[in-house]
Amino acid sequence: MEALLHNQTTAEQAEALENSRANPLRAHELHSSNYFQLLNSRRKLPVSLRRQEFLDVYHDSQIILVSGETGSGKTTQIPQFILFDEWASGKKVACTQPRRLATTSVATRTATELDVPLGEEVGYSVRFDKMTSETTRLKYMTDGLLLSEASSDRDFSSYSCVILDEAHERTLNTDLLMALLKMATSRRPSLKVVIMSATLNIDKIRGYFPGAATFEISGKVHPVQIHYLSQSTPRYCYCAIGVVKHIHKMMPEGDILLFLPTSGDIEMVCSILRHHHKDLTVIPLYSALSRARQQEIFKESIFRKCIVATNVAETSITIDGIVYVIDSGLEIRPVYNPRLRMSTVLTSPISKASAKQRAGRAGRTRPGICFRLYTEETHNTCFIPSAPPGILEGELASQILLLKVMGFDSVGTFDFVDPPHPEVYLRGLQDLHSMGYIDDKGTITPNGRVAARLSVHPKWLNAFLEGQKNGCLREMIDLAAIASTQHPIFSRPPPARFVADIAHQRFACPSSDHISQLNALHAYESAMKTENRLRINQWCFDAFLDRRALGEVVRIRDQLVTTLQTMLNNTKEICAPDDVEYDTQIRKTLARSFFYQCAIKNSGGNYYLYKTVHEGQPAGIHPESALCWGNKEWIVYSEFVSSGTPYLQTVTAVDPAWLIDLDFFQDENLPKTVTGDFKQPRVKTSLDKAREKTNKVEEDLISFEKLDLKDGE
């Protein structure tokens, strides 16, 4: 012990020893010198100075709303206070985060602070990835994951306390958790709930939890100077490059964090910065990058680091060394349009709360400076106080299904913090009905129950069932896994986009992007069997495939295969890529499972080559698709997104004959004008032709059967 503590002063030694005794995780063990160093800095955090006061409030109340400055220690310290306080209960403490990167990084930090290996007493759990064990008592997890746990345990019975962090973001999942926790606390008096945020809209949440106690922490760790532009500029990327150059050439050491709205902006700015500043380590950060590439932001560098990020770096994470933050004041927010079944991603100004969070990424381990690429007047007059709750902007089908499986039949009267817009809610119900997951009365069906428990979007259950009939269940599982990874398997680095597109041609299927994805995955798996580890990296590099994304797909797929084992045991012979029927069966399965996402060639459209069948919304096909030339009459698509231009993404050509028996395509369900005519006569004609053709084939078959053919005739 003396040897370990030889660097500490006597007072520190005493304090450290006292703390180590109070720490039930390692009370009988010696701590590393790093532990004591961290302990020293943790003790100075504003939250730590009020530990006892917090615990007093915690003991007296069941629900506590905590608000405090960014960097004051909420995310890393409060869960530790609660962990030790609740130790005797034998239950776990959960702390939720809206994003995966923040979840894994704060779990790592807290485990380091407590001097325990990550995954033992402190762990994390995000979708398709976890580091937890039997001994885990403090679990950082994404809000989505806790929500899916709640679907089978409405009382949160394995937890003594649930902490919802970054509640000001009001994600759809956090809002639902608030509602479920409110009910659970009335059933389980021993369950505690802590809702934390730097900029909590206290009045709204306090109104929702009338009896809750509030605990406010003031005080910053380090000051952050804020600078505004004197005049606004629309050329935010070039302005940002100018500020980086100025900092790099003129200002003292310290890393830079630059916030831009889109991954396209980020890649463009990164390539310009790399070209002009060889002595700057430029690192992009956005959600579509693989986890390993995201982790690069935490690595040390001999040069000054410049991290160029979207709002994934906005909350909870601390990147040691960041002194300068440059904030473009913009972000992209997907907004769901229930009438068109389309997600619009538009670049829009951030909220004041987000601006504060972004500035708060500096000044965490030393004083910082934040350059805001907008005027002070813009900040004060144009930015809304906080972003609208996710429940008002997102699609709701899977959340409604989850609530139904939990027994909330009348979701319309559910006690939300902010109720969803009725049109979005009704669209969600309609979609679930089309998928067969709820019946005419809105009651969940047996298929709906299974779909709600899948780790992928519930819509995939129909693809699995249809795939089982058509002998391509494994292919549907592969596609569900590909759709569920955040990272695209086809890599298209901007400087080599053209070369990448040529490399991807070897996987391309002219009638289906889904089959192109399968081709790439299967080629990777064959290469894995024959090549060694080093060669496989080169193989992926040459093919412009993201190896880590493919690895993640395989992991997700294997988990799904385990879940769907019984289904797989009952499946027909799996069709193989060299079967004549392979393409057709996959396209047919996709058509019959995603029939509500159909589009037909738009006869009058030049640029917008297609129109969605039921909404009649014109759209182009994404230029990365093998079907972008529009030579197929009918298609199904996976996503309908608009970032100014509406695009259908990941599309497959289908035959309308595969759809004609579905209710969705019967005359009474096709959209009509007020005079009763079909809104899209082309859809109607095409379906009628398909019907005639199918009837003719059936008639021919019947008359063929009627012929009493004898052997040899």
Ligand X SMILES: Nc1ncnc2c1ncn2[C@@H]1O[C@H](COP(=O)(O)OP(=O)(O)OP(=O)(O)O)[C@@H](O)[C@H]1O
Residue 174 in the binding site for ligand X (CB under 6 A): no
Summary count for the chain: helices (H), strands (E): 26, 21
Of the residues 364, 487, 588, 622, which one makes contact with ligand X according to CB under 6 A: 364
CA distance 78 to 162: 12
When the beta carbons of 103 and 132 are compared against ligand X, the nearer one is 103
Residue 345 has phi, psi (to 5 degrees) of: -110, 105
Residue 322 in the binding site for ligand X (CB under 6 A): no
Measured CA to CA in angstroms, residue 159 lies from 61, 217, 453 at distances of 17, 25, 21
When the beta carbons of 109 and 459 are compared against ligand X, the nearer one is 109
When the beta carbons of 86 and 166 are compared against ligand X, the nearer one is 166
Assign 159 to helix, strand or coil: strand
When the beta carbons of 77 and 512 are compared against ligand X, the nearer one is 77
Of the residues 76, 185, 328, 351, which one makes contact with ligand X according to CB under 6 A: 76
Residue 50 in the binding site for ligand X (CB under 6 A): no
Amino acid at residue number 367: P
Of the residues 61, 67, 73, 266, which one makes contact with ligand X according to CB under 6 A: 73
When the beta carbons of 109 and 587 are compared against ligand X, the nearer one is 109
Of the residues 53, 216, 320, 581, which one makes contact with ligand X according to CB under 6 A: 320
Residues in 344-363 that interact with ligand X by CB under 6 A: 360
Measured CA to CA in angstroms, residue 251 lies from 238, 350, 374 at distances of 19, 27, 21
Is residue 148 packed enough to be buried (19+ CB in 10 Å), middle (13-18) or exposed (0-12)? middle
Residues in 652-691 that interact with ligand X by CB under 6 A: none
CB of 300 to ligand X, least distance (A): 12
642 pairs with which residues across the strands?
Answer: 344, 646
CB of 71 to ligand X, least distance (A): 3
When the beta carbons of 198 and 543 are compared against ligand X, the nearer one is 198
When the beta carbons of 187 and 222 are compared against ligand X, the nearer one is 222
Angle ∠(291,292,298) on CA atoms, nearest 5: 100
The DSSP call for residue 315 is S
String of DSSP letters for 374-415? S-HHHHHHTS-SSPPPGGGTS--HHHHHHHHHTT---GGG--
String of DSSP letters for 221-250? SS-EEEEE-SS--S-HHHHHHHHHHHHHHH
Amino acid at residue number 265: D
Q: Give which of 185, 149, 142 is closest to 164, Cα–Cα.
A: 142
Of the residues 104, 316, 517, 625, which one makes contact with ligand X according to CB under 6 A: 316
> Which tokens go with 415?
């006690």
Of the residues 70, 142, 174, 686, which one makes contact with ligand X according to CB under 6 A: 70
* Total residues at interface with ligand X (CB under 6 A): 20
CB of 679 to ligand X, least distance (A): 49
Angle ∠(258,260,266) on CA atoms, nearest 5: 90
When the beta carbons of 128 and 140 are compared against ligand X, the nearer one is 140
CB of 390 to ligand X, least distance (A): 19
Is residue 104 packed enough to be buried (19+ CB in 10 Å), middle (13-18) or exposed (0-12)? buried
When the beta carbons of 75 and 386 are compared against ligand X, the nearer one is 75
Only one of the segments 168-176, 312-320, 416-424, 517-525 lies at the binding site for ligand X (rule: CB under 6 A); that segment is 312-320
CB of 446 to ligand X, least distance (A): 43
Answer yes or no: are the C-beta atoms of 193 and 185 closer than 8 Å: yes
Of the residues 74, 168, 404, 614, which one makes contact with ligand X according to CB under 6 A: 74
When the beta carbons of 174 and 318 are compared against ligand X, the nearer one is 318
When the beta carbons of 172 and 198 are compared against ligand X, the nearer one is 198
String of DSSP letters for 608-619? --EEETTT--EE
Sheet of strand 213-217: strand arrangement: 129-131, 122-126, 138-142, 92-97, 159-164, 192-197, 63-68, 213-217
CB of 105 to ligand X, least distance (A): 6
Residues in 183-202 that interact with ligand X by CB under 6 A: 198
Only one of the segments 22-30, 115-123, 283-291, 311-319 lies at the binding site for ligand X (rule: CB under 6 A); that segment is 311-319
Only one of the segments 314-322, 417-425, 527-535, 566-574 lies at the binding site for ligand X (rule: CB under 6 A); that segment is 314-322
Query: How far does Cα 699 stand from its chain's mean position?
Result: 50
CB of 363 to ligand X, least distance (A): 8
When the beta carbons of 220 and 672 are compared against ligand X, the nearer one is 220
Residue 67 has phi, psi (to 5 degrees) of: -130, 145
When the beta carbons of 367 and 630 are compared against ligand X, the nearer one is 367
CB of 487 to ligand X, least distance (A): 23
The label of the residue with tokens 């693809």 reads 463
When the beta carbons of 173 and 491 are compared against ligand X, the nearer one is 173
Only one of the segments 68-76, 145-153, 231-239, 597-605 lies at the binding site for ligand X (rule: CB under 6 A); that segment is 68-76
Residue 72 in the binding site for ligand X (CB under 6 A): yes
CB of 285 to ligand X, least distance (A): 15
Amino acid at residue number 647: Y
Residues in 99-158 that interact with ligand X by CB under 6 A: 109
When the beta carbons of 71 and 284 are compared against ligand X, the nearer one is 71
CB of 67 to ligand X, least distance (A): 10
CB of 294 to ligand X, least distance (A): 14
Give me the 202-221 binding string for ligand X, x by CB under 6 A, dash otherwise.
-------------------x
Of the residues 16, 25, 45, 481, which one makes contact with ligand X according to CB under 6 A: 45
Of the residues 96, 315, 468, 491, which one makes contact with ligand X according to CB under 6 A: 315
CB of 344 to ligand X, least distance (A): 29
Q: Give which of 392, 391, 390, 429 is closest to 411, Cα–Cα.
A: 429
Residue 106 has phi, psi (to 5 degrees) of: -75, -30
> Which tokens go with 552?
């993640």
When the beta carbons of 76 and 399 are compared against ligand X, the nearer one is 76
Residue 75 in the binding site for ligand X (CB under 6 A): yes
Q: Give which of 598, 591, 623, 326 is closest to 492, Cα–Cα.
A: 623
Q: Give which of 260, 284, 277, 368 is closest to 324, Cα–Cα.
A: 368
Of the residues 61, 318, 462, 491, which one makes contact with ligand X according to CB under 6 A: 318
Answer yes or no: are the C-beta atoms of 88 and 143 closer than 8 Å: no
Answer yes or no: are the C-beta atoms of 47 and 40 closer than 8 Å: no
Binding site for ligand X (CB under 6 A): 45, 68, 70-77, 109, 198, 221, 315-316, 318, 320, 360, 364-365
